Structure 1
Amino acid sequence: MLKTLFALGLGLGLAAGASAQAPTEWQEGKHYTLIEPAQVTTTGDKVEVLEVFSYACPHCNEVAPLVADMKKRLPANAEFVMIPAQFGFEAWKTYARAFYTAQALGILDKSHDAMFRAIYVDKKLDIRSPTFASLAEFYSQYGVSAEDFIATSRSFAIETRLKRNDALIKAYGVESTPNFVINGKYLVTGQTAGGYANIEPLIKYLIAKESQGS
């Protein structure tokens, strides 16, 4: 089922982002949702700040610069991670497989921003029906042959990541992108935050909340 908030709610979040003002007090159930049960994190003793996104999501492309800036300003006790959503869509599955393959090959950091640019600015990759061969060719500019990229994409490790994180996204209650999950406990969206300009202060509030053990 197409996620109804994807086009409507997130568009409103982006529109509100430019003028949004953070409230004086963040409220559970209004500005963020408690995830029950809380999910296991991957960042050890650091607070996990996780973005659920997709290269096939235009809104994720629009907020990517905001997310990149926020990542640089996170406190030392927090760590940022990303997982790609699939939602049962073939294009999203293909881009998710490419994300994990690039991550496994150690070229994700170099290619992440360029992937958005190739799709939305340069129009070199198809947002609706990408072929994996075209994605492998794109990643070949980062020192990995297209053949090795395709071979790695078919590995058991990649299949495991795809299945595990698809289940994890469902456990979070995520139904649209981009969404943010803090320490496996709190779900934040552009809508609940009152606009994407409020995402960073809200996330920092939740990091502090977790750091205090409250």
Structure 2
Amino acid sequence: MLKVLFTLGLGLGLAANASAQAPAEWQEGKHYTLIEPPQATTTGDKVEVLEVFSYACPHCNEVAPMVADIKKRLPATSEFVMIPAQFGFEAWKTYARAFYTAQALGILDKSHEDMFRAIYVDKKLDIRSPTFASLAEFYSQYGVSVEDFTATSRSFAIETRLKRNDALIKAYGVESTPNFIVNGKYLVSGQTAGGYNNIEALLNYLVAKESAGS
């Protein structure tokens, strides 16, 4: 946990001091890390741009508006995907389970930004020890009963997603949040990019690189 918090703090400091001007040329091993071996993607012919995040991560909350803007402006050749990290923390796993359940029930797009607000602004949900009952109640405002949400959360499909994507995050080499993965090949963080002001430019560079087949 200390390692995660240290990395987050370092990334935040870089974000505050970084210029919005991206470097003239991005360098592998400096601005982004090559993932070996590359991991399979879920977006077909489109270049996958994936954010590893958690609702239990305060820094993910801070950069969420930036991430939403990046998602809207991505090239048509790419597709944005999110997966929630667990890192062995029970609270993070609970929020990850809620994320996958909302996704399975088709209410994620409506609830995603509201979840951050409920935790960090309205203080309606506990960041350290959330109960699943409180999360099910939160999601009930989107037309899903507490009973249906709870039942779906305990399904084999959700358990499979939790285990599979936890293993995938480890295969990426991700140890903190938020991090970004482009096409299962490149790992990007606020630290490697030289600040979060540079994330969008770097992601676009890597998307173009993959789209060109280079």
Q: Give the TM-score normalised by the residue count of structure 1.
A: 0.97
- Give the match for residue 65 of structure 1: 65
Asked if structure 1 preserves the Cα contact closer than 8 Å seen for 2:8 and 2:177, the reply is no
Q: 1:62 is paired with a residue of what secondary structure?
A: helix
Alignment gaps of 5+ in structure 1: none
1:3 Cα deviation from its structure 2 partner:
3.0
* Deviation, structure 1 residue 159: 0.2
Encode CA deviations 1:124-161: one digit per residue, 9 max, x unaligned.
00000000000000000000001110110000000000
CA contact (8 A) 2:55 2:92 kept: yes
Give the equivalent residue in structure 2 for 1:169: 169
After superposition, where does 1:78-93 map in structure 2 within 5 Å?
Answer: 78-93=78-93
SS in 1 for 2:16: helix
Report percent identity of matched pairs.
Answer: 85
3-state DSSP of counterpart to 1:209: helix
C-alpha RMSD of the superposition: 1.1
After TM superposition, the structure 1 = structure 2 runs for residues 95-174 of structure 1, keeping only pairs within 5 Å, are 95-174=95-174
The answer to whether the 8 Å contact 2:118/2:125 transfers is yes
SS at match of 2:72: helix
Partner of 1:12: 13
SS in 2 for 1:87: coil
Match status 1:53 vs 2:53? yes
Q: Is the 8 A contact 1:136 1:149 kept in 2?
A: yes
Contact 1:16 1:196 in 2 (8 A): no
Quote the Cα distance in structure 1 between the aligned partners of 2:132 and 2:27. 43
Look up the SS of the partner of 2:83 in the other structure: strand
Q: Tell me the distance in 1 between the aligned counterparts of 2:208 and 2:92.
A: 33
Bigger Cα displacement from structure 2, 4-13 vs 160-169: 4-13
Q: CA deviation at 1:203?
A: 0.2
Structure 1 letter corresponding to 2:99: F
Deviations 1:14-58 (A, max 9, x none): 3235x3421110000000000000000000000000000000000
Deviation digits for residues 74-94 of structure 1 (CA, Å, limit 9, x no counterpart): 010100000000000011000
Question: Counterparts of 1:201 and 1:7 in 2: how far apart (Å)?
Answer: 20
For residues 80-122 of structure 1, the C-alpha deviation after alignment (integer angstroms, 9 at most, x for no partner) is 0000000000110000000000000000000000000000000
**CA shift for structure 1 position 12:** 1.9
1:185 matched to which residue of 2?
A: 185
Deviations 1:52-75 (A, max 9, x none): 000000010000000000111001
User: Which residue of structure 1 lines up, in the alignment, with residue 21 of structure 2?
Assistant: 21
Mapped contact 2:15–2:190 kept (Cα < 8 A): yes
* 8 Å CA contact 2:15, 2:194 repeated in 1: no
Q: How many angstroms apart in 2 are the aligned matches of 1:85 and 1:8?
A: 18
User: How far apart, CA to CA, are the structure 2 residues paired with 1:131 and 1:203?
Assistant: 35
- The number of aligned residues is 213
